[in-house]
Amino acid sequence: MLQIRKSADRGPAELGWLSSRHSFSFGHYHDPAHMGFGPLRVINEDKVQPGMGFGTHGHQDMEIISYVLDGALEHKDSLGTGSVIRYGDVQRMSAGTGVQHSEFNHSRTEEVHFLQIWIIPERSGIAPSYEEKHFDPASKRGQLRLIASRDGRDGSVVVHQDVRVFASVLDVGDRAEHALGPARLGYLHVARGSLIANGTPLEAGDALKFTNEAAVVLEGGTNAEVLLFDLPG
């Protein structure tokens, strides 16, 4: 079964310094029909104005992934980690027993555009940790590049959940396919551009849920960049 989630149906947040769209219930946006999908709990598309950002705040028992699309995102946390990530970088923070962190637009002149992703861990109370990796755009072009997994295979960041997260950049003539195992769910988020997934046309901000589907087939891309989540049912 395929279920589309259109970009325009996401929950909005307009705070002046921040423009955000929530794929699932988050903050002041609450929709009982969209509380998550499997252990995937949050996908927020955030655009933060220059020199602005999220002040120090706490998280617990959540795997948090940041995927930058444009600009530079500065991260600081109570683990002593500080870094600036840009396009191609993937950041993973396991909040575990508790962590404080902040996120700011590092630039004084350019907006930062990124996806904030939360995944519920398979167990609570793990030790907090931080990791980041760079994935060259060429490694994602025309194929699905593993960027996050439970075992860190193929150089992906480690998440404490039985999930695999892939990124892909697809254009005219490109085709990518991913088999979904028995009792597995698929969730495709279109970060930009457009493409066709299992015969369904999708635009930037759209998502497609896969339930009881054997495979995900991506084709017909036009400047498309997508994230594909392979999730336990």
C-alpha pair distances (Å), 179 with each of 2, 52, 55, 108: 15, 41, 40, 43
pTM listed for this prediction: 0.97
Domain with CATH 2.60.120.10 in the chain: 10-134, 137-232
Q: What is the pLDDT of residue 8?
A: 98
Polymer length in residues for the chain: 233
Amino acid 7: pLDDT: 98
The amino acid at residue 132 is: E
CATH number for the domain running over 10-134:
2.60.120.10
Cα–Cα nearest to 91, from 110, 111, 72: 72
Q: What is the pLDDT of residues 90-109, one digit of tens each?
A: 999 999 999 998 999 989 99
Class of domain 137-232: mainly beta
In sequence order, the β-bridge partners of residue 200 are 197
With a cut of 90, say whether residue 24 has pLDDT above it: yes
Contacts of 11 (CB under 8 A, 6+ apart): 21, 22, 25, 26, 29, 31
d(C-alpha 176, C-alpha 179), whole Å: 10
Q: How far, in Å, are 25, 195, 206 from residue 9 at the CA level?
A: 12, 19, 9
Whether the CB-CB separation of 205 and 19 falls below 8 Å is answered with: no
pLDDT one-digit tens code per residue, 181-198: 999 999 999 999 999 999
